[in-house]
Amino acid sequence: MAFTLDTAALGLPALVIHGGAGTFSTISGEEDVARLTAGLEEAVAAGWSVLEGGGRSLDAVVEAVSALESSGLFNAGRGAVPTTAGEVEFDSSVMDAETGAVGALCAVTYPANPVRAALRLSERGGVPDGPIILAGSGGDRFCEEEGLEQMRPEWLTAGRARAAASEEGTVGAVAVDARGRLAAATSTGGRSGQWPGRVGDTPIPGAGVLAEKETVALSATGTGEAFVVAGFAHRVAWQLQGGADLAAAVTGGLEAVSSLAGSGGAIALGPAGEMAAGFTTPAMARAWRGPAGAAARLYPS
């Protein structure tokens, strides 16, 4: 399998984000690349300001993903791609390793920032009593009752035009704060032209999102069906618990996805701020920041 892997020891605190894995074949030049890169950098800045101020990793990933959703540049929030019925449906998730809080929404239409809805649910439900995942009309009802900001149709239209350059762009973030607490968040409009109600890996803990204490924070992107069946994020975590290093574990997880004919990528952070960003597609929008450095990339370098 074609494979690109970025690794770095970022130190504490650290933040890594992605804006989707794919071909980015509709990008038409340096200007588009610069626009996407600027969108990534703004999201890193939003998450970094939380970490820099001594804040929690959970809030950092929510701020970073929220910025990506609101940019309209990626396939999430304002930039989400429509289903075959012409509707836009959002999937989102958050997970906090420190407290075990987890929340996810799938196939919802209401929230302006689906990741904030996932955060709110993570504060209400929980393991084992739940709910930790709400779908469709039930998820929308939750968002409305919680008084979350509603997505406006005109925002979506504007976002869709901008997102044409980046149909693959599911978004996600992983962070570790100054106290070593890990958190992860993922958000998507799903796969382009998907069946209404179709759900991928994004809102599934252990598939497209995971944060496990002293182990790893992960966010994935790609052919969600394969990531779900591979149990992608859990597979990476189990390899880490078995003694693999982060790069080897992420590689092993993506190999399992490839063996199911899937493709995509993931970002991962360990408790000491070690990072790995790997992908089997021609490109993955990704960026990171920590005391040891910062970068934003789209293609293999």
Does 103 contact ligand ASP by CB under 6 A?
no
> Taking contact as CB under 6 A, which single stretch among the options 120-128, 147-155, 187-195, 288-296 is the one that binds ligand ASP?
187-195
Does 190 contact ligand ASP by CB under 6 A?
yes
Q: Which residue from 90, 144, 148 is spatially nearest to 119, judged by alpha carbons?
A: 148
Residues 224-253 that bind ligand ASP (CB under 6 A): 224
For 52, counting Cβ atoms within 10 Å of its Cβ (0-12 exposed, 13-18 middle, 19+ buried), the class is middle
> Taking contact as CB under 6 A, which single stretch among the options 140-148, 173-181, 218-226, 235-243 is the one that binds ligand ASP?
218-226
Does 172 contact ligand ASP by CB under 6 A?
no
Beta-carbon count within 10 A of 214 CB: 14
Catalytic residue, from 4, 37, 109, 170: name it.
Answer: 170
170 an active-site residue? yes
**Alpha-carbon span 62 to 66, nearest angstrom:** 6
Minimum distance from residue 272 beta carbon to ligand ASP (Å): 27
> Taking contact as CB under 6 A, which single stretch among the options 23-31, 149-157, 188-196, 244-252 is the one that binds ligand ASP?
188-196
In what order do the strands lie in the sheet containing 274-279?
4-9, 274-279, 264-269, 216-222, 209-212
Does 280 contact ligand ASP by CB under 6 A?
no
Q: Is residue 99 within 8 Å of 79, Cβ to Cβ?
A: no
Minimum distance from residue 13 beta carbon to ligand ASP (Å): 26
In what order do the strands lie in the sheet containing 102-108?
133-135, 102-108, 90-96, 182-188, 171-176, 14-22, 283-290, 293-297
In the bound state, the residue with its beta carbon closest to ligand ASP is: 224
Residue in 47, 200, 273, 278 binding ligand ASP, rule: CB under 6 A: 200
SS3 category, 196: coil
Does 19 contact ligand ASP by CB under 6 A?
no
**Alpha-carbon span 273 to 35, nearest angstrom:** 28
**Alpha-carbon span 144 to 148, nearest angstrom:** 6
Residues 142-171 that bind ligand ASP (CB under 6 A): 168, 170
Enzyme catalytic residues: 170
| Residues contributing to the site for ligand ASP (CB under 6 A) | 20, 168, 170, 188, 190-191, 200-202, 208, 221-222, 224
